[in-house]
Amino acid sequence: MSFGACHVGLIDYEAGNVRSIENALDHLGARVSLVSQASDFEGKTHLLLPGVGAFGYCADKLRATGLVPQLRQWAIDDGRPLLGICVGMQLLADRGEELGTHDGLGLVGGTVRPLKGDPPSVRIPHVGWNDVTFADDFGSFRAGDTADFYFDHSFAYHDPVHGETLGTAEHGERFCAIVRRGKLVASQFHPEKSQRAGLRFLEGFLGIDPC
């Protein structure tokens, strides 16, 4: 499938692994441009919010760009495709509890809390490959499919609204690995580092109708 008609805006707020995501999207044939001001939204078909670091730090960096109103307009008011990755997923929740309690963007509800690490043999942070089970169809994945993705996190998204959990994983506890609300999709794992399964996931996102 060709994604040459897709023009992805990659939110640049100095807290995301921009280069590896650009490389993955380039591999799929999509155009990629950084978005750092409101005028950069023009002409984009899809938006992507990355994130690396602590929740509060990333939330402050994102708000400092002044792009939050445009991001909300895009994803909620206009219902256009947005993908959050790792901390970029977590920022879409109502709040995060990493190093204190911090307000998120409130686009998908829920709270980001630490993984329990129970029993003690469960290592935190959760780093490496893990199975994700899909609860519904997404791109070429079908409900009930399991695929291996790469994770690197100590906190996870909890309390998703019923019916909006698209995929789950297990690491001491079962947690929401993918959430979807309409054309808004977010993953705790890194699809850009997840080889073939990650590219299939990004294909699913690029396949969302931008209109």
Just list the catalytic residues: 86, 190, 192
Angle (nearest 5°) at CA 189 between 39 and 193: 80
Distance CA 151, CA 123 (A): 13
Q: Three-class SS of residue 195?
A: helix
Side-chain half-sphere exposure of 175, counting CA atoms within 13 A: 25
Cα torsion angle, 180, 164, 107, 129, sign: negative
Strand partners, 114: 155
Distance CA 17, CA 142 (A): 28
User: Residue 13 has which token pair?
Assistant: 């707020």
Q: Give the CA dihedral 171, 176, 177, 182, nearest 10 degrees.
A: 170
